[in-house]
Structures are given as structure tokens and as C-alpha cells.
């Protein structure tokens, strides 16, 4: 049986407001293009924000990032 390991609270707190905003939109199912349009940045910039958030959270995917943040719903509710 695999054990789910969540990132420490400090990793979640190290996310920038923009990274949290983008991850919130990822959790709603928006694409990078849609997210970029909604916040006024390019798709490439959205991708860079996500890559940085993945590193901070210690995950490899959109799903992993949203799962990591959903363990602390206050982070996504910001």
C-alpha cells in the first residue's frame, strides 16, 4: 500500500500569491491558456509559475499540486 506524503506547511506557505491564484484556477479545471487570459499573463508565464510551485511543493504534476494544497483548504481559499 502506498502512503500519501503531503508537503510541509512551510512549503505551502512559501507559495506566492500568484502561484496560489494559478493553482486555484488549475483546481477548477482551467487550462494554462485560460488561466493566462484570466490573469493577464502569457501561457508560458503560467507554466513557469506552475513549475516553481511544483518544486516548492515537491510534486510533479497539476494533480499533485492541487492534492497537496487541498490538504490545507485555507491555502486554496486565499
- Domains defined for the chain, CATH in brackets: 18-77 (1.10.10.10)
| Residue-by-residue DSSP string for 31-66 | -HHHHHHHHT--HHHHHHHHHHHHHHHT-SSHHHHH
Query: Given this model, what pLDDT does residue 1 score?
Result: 46
Interval 74-78 mean pLDDT: 51
DSSP-based three-state secondary structure for 23: helix
DSSP-based three-state secondary structure for 16: coil
- Cα-based angle 57, 9, 36 (whole degrees, multiple of 5): 45
What pTM was computed for the model?
0.78
The model's pLDDT over 26-51, given as tens digits with 9 standing for 90+, comes to 999 999 999 999 999 999 999 999 99
Amino acid at each position: 500500500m502506498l502512503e500519501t506524503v503531503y508537503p510541509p506547511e512551510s512549503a505551502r506557505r512559501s507559495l506566492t500569491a500568484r502561484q496560489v491564484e494559478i493553482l486555484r484556477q488549475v483546481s477548477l479545471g482551467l487550462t494554462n491558456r485560460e488561466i493566462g487570459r484570466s490573469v493577464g499573463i502569457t501561457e508560458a508565464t503560467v507554466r513557469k509559475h506552475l513549475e516553481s510551485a511544483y518544486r516548492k511543493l515537491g510534486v510533479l504534476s497539476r494533480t499533485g499540486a492541487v492534492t497537496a494544497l487541498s490538504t490545507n483548504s485555507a491555502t486554496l481559499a486565499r
